C-alpha cells in the first residue's frame, strides 16, 4: 500500500473525529478544538496529495496558507468565547440562540 493512501486514511479518520466533536459538544471551546482537528486533517491531506504532484511545493504553500487562516480563525473564536463568558458566565453554544435581541 502506498504511503499517500495511508496519510489520506489518517486524514479521513482525523476529520471524522473532528466532525463528531463538532456535532456532539455544546461548549464553544470544545467545538473550537474539534474544528482545529478538522483543519489539521485537511492540511494533512493537502500535504499528502502534494507529494504525488510534479511540483510538490504547491501543496506545501497551500498548507501554509491554510495554517495561517486556521490561526486567524482561532484568534477570532477565542475572543468571541471570552466575550460570551464575560457576559453570560457560561460558554454553552445553545445560549447564543436565547440571547438574540
- In this prediction the pTM is 0.73
pLDDT at 15: 93
pLDDT at 67: 80
pLDDT at 101: 54
pLDDT < 70 positions in the chain:
1, 56, 90-91, 93-101
pLDDT at 65: 82
pLDDT at 9: 93
pLDDT at 99: 60
pLDDT at 100: 59
Half-sphere exposure of 25 (CA within 13 A, CB side): 16
CATH fold label, 3-98: Helix Hairpins (1.10.287)
pLDDT at 13: 95
Amino acid at each position: 500500500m502506498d504511503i499517500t493512501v495511508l496519510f489520506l486514511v489518517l486524514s479521513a479518520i482525523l476529520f471524522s473525529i473532528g466532525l463528531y466533536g463538532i456535532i456532539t459538544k455544546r461548549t464553544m471551546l470544545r467545538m473550537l478544538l474539534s474544528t482545529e482537528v478538522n483543519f489539521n486533517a485537511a492540511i494533512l491531506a493537502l500535504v499528502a496529495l502534494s507529494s504525488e504532484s510534479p511540483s510538490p511545493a504547491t501543496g506545501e504553500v497551500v498548507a501554509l496558507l491554510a495554517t495561517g487562516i486556521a490561526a486567524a480563525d482561532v484568534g477570532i473564536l477565542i475572543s468571541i468565547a471570552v466575550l460570551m463568558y464575560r457576559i453570560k458566565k457560561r460558554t454553552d453554544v445553545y445560549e447564543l440562540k436565547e440571547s438574540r435581541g
